[in-house]
Amino acid sequence: MPSLAEKVASATADLRRLAKGWRPSETDLIGAVGLKNWMVAIDGEMPVLIGESVGHPHLGDQWITTSPVLWISEDRTIARTLSRWYRLGTSALPPPKEPLSKHYH
C-alpha cells in the first residue's frame, strides 16, 4: 500500500495536470474503483464520498467512506480523492441545478 507521502505526490501531480486542462483517459482509469449510490459528505473539515464501492482493492464491494475528495468532473462521472481515482455511478441524491464550477474556482 502506498505511503501517505506517495499518495500526496501522486494526487498533487494529477491536480496539476487537471489544472492545465488534462482529463484522465480510459487507460488512466483502468484501475479506478467504482462507486455507486454515492453522495458528498463532510468528515471533520474535509469533503469525502460515501457510497457502494465496486472493485475496491482493499475493501471489496461494500459501503465505504473515501479519503478526502480533491476533484470531481463536471459531469460527475469521475472523482479524484487523496488515495485514488473513482468512476462514479448513479448518485444517491438528485444532481444540483448549478454546475460545480459555480461553487469551486
User: What are the pLDDT digits (tens) for 10-65?
Assistant: 999 999 999 999 999 999 899 899 999 999 999 989 999 999 999 887 887 889 89
94 pLDDT band, cuts 50/70/90, is confident
**What is the distance between the alpha carbons of residues 27 and 31, in angstroms, rounded to a whole number?**
9
The DSSP bridge partners found for residue 80 are: 71, 85
Measured between alpha carbons, how far is 23 from 78 in angstroms, rounded to an integer?
Answer: 10
Answer whether residue 2 shows pLDDT above 90.
no
Question: What's this model's pTM, rounded to 2 decimal places?
Answer: 0.83
Cα angle value 33/16/105 (rounded, 5°) = 90
**Could you tell me which of 67, 76, 68 has the C-alpha nearest to residue 100?**
76
